[in-house]
Amino acid sequence: MTNTLLVPIHLDALFLKQPQSVVDQMTDYSELPYWDQRPVNNDNPYISDTVLSPPFVNLNLNLKPGIHLHWALPDALTQGQVEDDGSIQFPLVPNRWLIMRRGGNLPDKQWVVESDYLYADCEKQDDTINILHDPTGEDRDRRPFRYLGRKLELSEWQLGGDGEYIEALSAMGPFSQLTSLDNEKATFAAFYPNCRSVFGFHDPDCTQQSPPEDLQYDVIGWYSSTDKDYFTQFLKEHSREDPQTLKASIKEVFGWNIDEIDNPATLEGMLCYSRLTFKATGSLQDPVPQLAKPTIAVGNSPTEALAAYLASQLSGNPEHREIIEEQLEALELNERFQGEQLDVGPRFEQARHETGFSRESAGLLWRVMPVGNKSLSTDAQSLEQTTLPEEIADQLNTLNLRQQEYDRALAKIGMMREQIYADWHKYMLAKYKDIDQLPDDDNIKYYLTNTSDTAFSDLVRYNQDIII
């Protein structure tokens, strides 16, 4: 590329004199049961507890001595767009990273990290993350996971070679379109144990007691294909815009100010870039300051807890704190009472009480309303009495009865879904774990197949037949 946009990124480094146990990646799919010429993990059921790292006791990742690098992606590449079908589309991110080491009395060296490289099924990698991979066809009984991301010395990488790569890589992981968002996906690129072989790098050559002064790392990231370059595709879609409009569009979508570039349309892509240089400090103490002792505020709602905390900070008098707390909550609920003059106090207490509860849908209720009178408030219109003709009233009553029938069936479907999942969870435990309190797994399977599933299917068909 002769005309490329350089995008600065943040780069962190961790120096370890000796191995250190840290919090493990949030999910470890290698714990799932599978067949590899013999049963593996045969006592582990197919449930989330098998792969999720338990909180507070999961210091299971052993980081090796040396220097660990972790780079952050540009903010513009970590933001998703909600599609019409409700899914979230995330931009593809650079999948090739050049790491250059120089200075510090160490020989110059270069590596390339292929973030989207997928190891073969039989290859076990100790310093590489694993991802869920669904075997199909003849490999159906193989491992349900694969290892992702590899590093090669530049000279070895330049020779080329065959390999398998994932189709999409985003800040959320090995995919770009999500139908759900969880903690692992949301923190994939931000949490080093989750992405250490994808957006991270380990240099084992630094074995001194401390990082040598002026040791420098440069990290450059790019896309292996221009078809995946999010910035290049954006320029193609906005190629007809004049330079000033295009600059404004880039500022709005990416948050990048490129006023010094005369015509952004001439750019041929983007490169991510960062440099980190070690300086002598005389200490290897962790520079991260310790957090002050936190203050805890408790309330029936987030607003109430925040108001209680602020009131305690503003006044030491308990009576004054109660008044301040009510006033702060009133500010949050003020929009509900715009234009209201009667019974504001009792209605505020009612609204305050409501915020301490979560709402559940009670279904739909159809009503016939008169044409709106702009001179009356919505509440006043709802209080107006309207006498309907008998024929219309009967039709309205029939409509609401059918709607109630539909809502009840819909609620029961939701309840049965939860029950089926709970029974399936018990089936997994009974099949893979020796738990005396549970029924035989064959009995649970029979019940799920011949009772729960049949009743659920019948209820869904019944609900589809309700005509409103």
Report pLDDT digits (tens) over 276-291: 999 877 666 665 666 6
Is residue 401 predicted with pLDDT exceeding 90?
Answer: yes
Whole-prediction pTM value?
0.77
Least trusted range by pLDDT, from 31-35, 46-50, 142-146, 459-463: 459-463
* pLDDT bracket for residue 467 (50, 70, 90): low
Question: CA geometry: angle at 127 spanning 9 and 131, to 5°?
Answer: 80
Number of Cβ atoms within 10 Å of the Cβ of 371 = 5
CA–CA distance, 45 with 425 (Å, rounded to integer): 9
pLDDT of residue 203: 95
Is residue 383 predicted with pLDDT exceeding 80?
Answer: no
pLDDT of residue 435: 80
Q: What DSSP designation does 381 have? A: H
pLDDT of residue 75: 94
CA–CA distance, 141 with 37 (Å, rounded to integer): 9
Could you tell me what percent of the chain has a pLDDT over 90?
A: 36
pLDDT of residue 131: 93
Mean pLDDT to the nearest integer, 229-233: 93
SS3 state of residue 63: strand
pLDDT of residue 382: 53
Mean pLDDT to the nearest integer, 202-231: 92
pLDDT of residue 184: 86
* pLDDT bracket for residue 197 (50, 70, 90): very high
Query: 278, 222, 268: which is closest to 99 by C-alpha?
Result: 222
pLDDT of residue 289: 62
SS3 state of residue 193: helix
Mean pLDDT to the nearest integer, 421-430: 90
pLDDT of residue 468: 59
For 37-64, the pLDDT digits (tens) are: 888 888 899 888 899 988 777 778 899 9
Query: 60, 78, 52, 67: which is closest to 17 by C-alpha?
Result: 67
Q: pLDDT: is 339 or 322 the higher one? A: 322
Mean pLDDT over each residue of the chain, to the nearest integer:
85
Mean pLDDT to the nearest integer, 176-185: 87
Is residue 443 predicted with pLDDT exceeding 80?
Answer: yes
Is residue 110 predicted with pLDDT exceeding 90?
Answer: yes
Is residue 262 predicted with pLDDT exceeding 80?
Answer: yes
Is residue 380 predicted with pLDDT exceeding 60?
Answer: no
Q: Residues with Cβ < 8 Å from 259, sequence gap 6 or more?
A: 247
Highest mean pLDDT among 77-86, 259-268, 321-330: 77-86
pLDDT of residue 192: 96
Is residue 233 predicted with pLDDT exceeding 70?
Answer: yes
Query: 38, 299, 72, 45: which is closest to 195 by C-alpha?
Result: 72
Is residue 336 predicted with pLDDT exceeding 80?
Answer: no
Tokens of residue 107, six digits: 């020989």
pLDDT of residue 223: 95
